[in-house]
Amino acid sequence: MILPEDASLAERNFDYRLSTASIEAEHSRFTAFPGFERDLVLLTQPIILQIFGRPQPVQPGKVFHFYGSDMVESEGKTQDLNLIKRAGLPGKLEMIEGSISGPALVFDPKQMALIALETGEKSSFEQAVKVDIPLT
């Protein structure tokens, strides 16, 4: 998902981008996004992120925040949910458990699905990721 909808990842003219990805190489380098901030949630296996050469262990089910201009390399294979937002804009990923009421945007890792809860709609999750970004 990219917002606004007519924005382009290649042109870097977006405000928000939410995506899942598979890190399939044992060692990889993250694409730089200067002027943006990133939240990452691992969905499967733990990995080590090297931020400017400093190792940072990252566990599944935890939100890891870093800057798009950071030099980031990873060691290990996993799947992730990634929010990239223009610096200074509101927005974050947040781990949740239990019941949540709409309006809310929730990523359910069991279903690998993004779920939009309407106002007054309620749902329960064993563990999920609330995507806290403005949709209007």
Residues 83-131 pLDDT 10s: 999 999 999 999 999 999 999 999 999 999 999 999 999 999 999 999 9
Report residue 83 as tokens: 């929010």
CA–CA distance from 136 to each of 3, 5, 45, 120, 126 (Å)?
Answer: 10, 11, 34, 18, 28
Quick one: pLDDT at residue 70? Answer: 96
How many CA within 13 A on the CB side of residue 101? 2
Quick one: pLDDT at residue 135? Answer: 78
Residue 136: pLDDT band (50, 70, 90) is low
Report the largest interatomic distance among the alpha carbons of the chain, rounded to a whole angstrom.
Answer: 46
| pLDDT tens, position by position, 44-80 | 999 999 999 899 999 999 999 999 999 999 999 999 9
Which domains does the chain possess? 2-86 (2.60.120.10), 92-132 (no CATH)
pTM above 0.75, yes or no: yes
CA distance 110 to 53: 33
What is the full DSSP assignment across the chain? -EESTT--TTTT--SEEEEEEEE-SSEEEPPP-TTEEEEEEESSS-EEEEETTEEEEE-TTSEEEEETTS-EEEES-EEEEEEEEETTS--EEEEEEEEEESSEEEEETTTTEEEEEPTT-EEEEEEEEEEE----
